[in-house]
Amino acid sequence: MNTFLTLLWLEFRKFSGFGLALLVVGVLWFFVARQFFEWNGSNLESAAAVLGITFLSAFVASMAFLVALAQDFTREYRAGRWALLLGAPQPGWLHLAVKALFGLVVLTLFNGGMWLVQAFWLGQAGVNLPFSLGASVWLYLLGGLALVIPALFTGLWIAAYIPGKATTLAFFIGAIGLGQVLEWNARLFGNWFYQLLPPWKLPAPSIEQNPMVRLQLERFPGLPTEGFVLLAVLTVLFFLAASRLWQEVEA
């Protein structure tokens, strides 16, 4: 029996209800977006509204899934199964890798589906939203690993140490402040390191109804490559820290 596939199947069993809810959200939004265009007509204003609502819905649903994925450590602890996982012959990094892969697949399927839904209906208004644009942005986020692995680390840390409210609040404030620290470092060292990295070019969407808007989108410079490098480094560090934390709890 393949241990990796078995653990992956267990993750699927635990989150099958949540996955079904995400599927329902995507299907419902497909019909709601169609109705939105029928009410307001196929114009750029309707397209902008559909675009904004789609991104907001995808963000809220993705964050809810990440929170549920992080809380799974606490659920295992309360159910008395976490001690069995820690004492299993499989290493901790394997359990974390399975959870990370499962989260990556779920988020990729959900956000990819939401992208296809909005791309289809925006095409009715003359807005060509290429799939390669969404794929490039998702790849920039390391396929979602840059979101999944920090969530797993946070959930494991809370389940392992069961911190109080003050400690948890301080942890989240420190995590938020980490972004500001990274920004300061980018400003200090960007002149001699990050400028060596080329920009990440993105395919621009085309708008048939407005040539001036289409021209501006074609001039879009792309995403900075230094952000991708920072995300990759932080993702690896979070995974290593979570693996080390698993070992400490197991000991």
Q: What would the 3-class secondary structure string for 129-185 be? A: CCHHHHHHHHHHCHHHHHHHHHHHHHHHHHHHHCCCHHHHHHHHHHHHHHHHHHHHH
Cα(70)–Cα(223) distance, integer angstroms: 29
State residue 48's pLDDT score. 77
* pLDDT given for residue 187 in this prediction: 63
**pLDDT reported for residue 102:** 93
- Cβ-based neighbours of 138, under 8 Å, separated by 6 or more: 108, 111, 112, 144
* Residue 236 pLDDT: 94
pTM of the predicted structure, to 2 decimals: 0.80
Nearest-10 Cα torsion for 46, 49, 50, 51: 120
CB 102 within 8 Å of CB 145? no
Q: Report the candidate in 100, 11, 9, 85 with the shortest Cα–Cα distance to residue 247.
A: 85
Q: What is the pLDDT of residues 97-130, one digit of tens each?
A: 999 999 999 999 999 999 988 888 888 777 778 8
pLDDT < 50: residue spans in the chain: none
What is the rounded CA–CA span in Å between residue 97 and residue 24?
27
- Provide the residue type at 247 as one letter: Q
Taking alpha carbons only, the member of 14, 109, 107 closest to residue 66 is 107
C-alpha–C-alpha distance, residues 118 and 43, integer Å: 14
Which amino acid, residue 76?
Answer: E
Cα–Cα distance between 169 and 3 in angstroms, integer? Answer: 37
